[in-house]
Amino acid sequence: MLKHLIGTAAATLALTALPAMAELKIGSIVELSGPGAAAGTNFRDGVKMGFEEINAAGGVLGEPVAITEYDSQTDPQVSRAMVQKAIDDGVVAITGTVFSSSTVVNMLVARQAGIPQFTGSEAPSITSMNNPYIFRTAFGSQKGIPKLTKYMAEEMGVKTVAVVWANTEFGKGGHTAFLDEAERLGFEIVADIPTEQAQTDFSADVVKLKGIQADAVFVYLTEEESARFLREVRKQGVQMPLVGDTTLTGHKVIELAGEAANGALGHVGLTPDANIPAMTAMVDRFKGQFGYTPDHNAIKGYVAAHAIKCVAELAGKADSQAIADRMHGLTLKAADCPGVLMDTSWDDSGEMSRESFFVEVQDGKQVVKAILPAN
């Protein structure tokens, strides 16, 4: 009996003494419900696919990656709590959130804990707070919009513009960046129309547009609102060119707006329709895995996963501080780190730059009209 007990105890001790399989914990904190669900779900799936590929290829520095998902509910305070929860769970890095209103709140928690955060948000304020732990996966609107306005001035000959924007952190950032550029380029703003987050009825806003004449309408709304807006524009027969940055011509918007999306123009940092073999292959794999066409948010998430892997390998250790330190001033070339899809640079504020695209929606697809250089 005693022998049996000793044997059992020895076996238990031996098992518990074995080193546990180390794993790299990543917190995926995104908008899985609420108004940001379209963007958040895409970003989440991109992150998931990226890390699944990384795990299949041996993980990060030999360690498998374990992703834990947290739903921010598109609520800044919930997102803050989720970031804290992820940190308490011991994550090495965070991916998300996508909505700027959430990111400006939750990034302070990650900063305090020294956890690098790879966000899909585009509000300019995010990289202007001297936060050494925040990194973008798409450039901020203060970098994207100058590319767009330059194209509008030089290629479209725009002189008068109406602006329709979301009265949120995301929208305010784009609105301010656009007005600054408009002033610099001498655009006359003939109408300035704010809208609310999760707005469902755009008839009054489009009525306002109908009362003015402009060379173009700059639309800066999130995905679902963009689709509702485009449908209303079609319904009321507005003929002015609609130009957006990132969201207006996104794939989710095209799916939701249907035929009403045709003719919309926009600047996009990432597009599955870019003639880049790595991007095309990624899009095909994504469609196969998730059954829908990824939008720019999915590609952002995918890039975030691969950036984390490549940076950890460059730093030589999968450690939060090492990753954050190595990210500043870094350029990842697609040749060395194929998962980032395009050559990408991050500056000391976490802002990124790379080439981007000007597209038009034709027959329900993005058609690249011009490649815009990195700035």
Partner 1 sequence: MAELIQILISGLAAGSIYALAAVGFTLLWQASQTINFAQGEFVMLPGFFVLIGMALGLPMWPAVLFALVLSLLVLGAAFKKLIVEPMLPHGTLPLVIATIALGLLMKESVKEFYGATAQPFPAVFPQTVYNVAGASVSAQDIGNLIVSMLAIGGLQLFLNRTRTGRCMQASAQNPGVAEILGVDVKRMVLYTFLINAALATIASVLISPIYLAKFSNGETLGLVAFIAAIVGGFNQIRGALVGGLLVGVIDNLSAVYVSAEYRQAMPLLLLIAIILLRPQGLLGTKEGRAV
List of residues contacting partner 1 (CB under 8 A): 32-34, 37-38, 41, 167, 193-196, 198, 200-201, 203-205, 207-208, 210-211, 224, 227-228, 231-232, 234-237, 252, 255-259
In whole angstroms, the minimum distance from the beta carbon of 260 to partner 1 comes to 8
In whole angstroms, the minimum distance from the beta carbon of 178 to partner 1 comes to 18
In whole angstroms, the minimum distance from the beta carbon of 63 to partner 1 comes to 31
Give buried/exposed letters for 7-29 (b at 16+ CB in 10 A, else e). eeeeeeeeeeeeeeeeebbbbbb
Cα 271 to Cα 265: distance, rounded to the nearest angstrom: 13
DSSP per-residue letters across 157-212: ---EEEEEEESSHHHHHHHHHHHHHHHHHT-EEEEEEEE-TT----HHHHHHHHTS
Comparing CB distances to partner 1, the nearer of 89 and 259 is 259
In whole angstroms, the minimum distance from the beta carbon of 237 to partner 1 comes to 4
In whole angstroms, the minimum distance from the beta carbon of 330 to partner 1 comes to 33
Comparing CA positions, the residue from 213, 162, 159, 212 lying closest to residue 186 is: 159
In whole angstroms, the minimum distance from the beta carbon of 164 to partner 1 comes to 10
Comparing CB distances to partner 1, the nearer of 192 and 319 is 192
Joined tokens for residue 223: 């995905």
Comparing CB distances to partner 1, the nearer of 183 and 196 is 196
Comparing CB distances to partner 1, the nearer of 130 and 362 is 362
Cα 16 to Cα 45: distance, rounded to the nearest angstrom: 35
Comparing CB distances to partner 1, the nearer of 85 and 234 is 234
Comparing CB distances to partner 1, the nearer of 39 and 315 is 39
Q: At what angle do helices 277-290 and 37-56 cross, to 10 degrees?
A: 100
Comparing CA positions, the residue from 333, 267, 323, 336 lying closest to residue 117 is: 323
Cα 77 to Cα 256: distance, rounded to the nearest angstrom: 29
Comparing CB distances to partner 1, the nearer of 155 and 259 is 259
In whole angstroms, the minimum distance from the beta carbon of 223 to partner 1 comes to 8
Half-sphere exposure of 97 (CA within 13 A, CB side): 37
In whole angstroms, the minimum distance from the beta carbon of 251 to partner 1 comes to 12
User: Can you give the length of the chain in residues?
Assistant: 375
Cα 12 to Cα 7: distance, rounded to the nearest angstrom: 9
Comparing CB distances to partner 1, the nearer of 41 and 356 is 41
Beta bridge partners of 29: 70
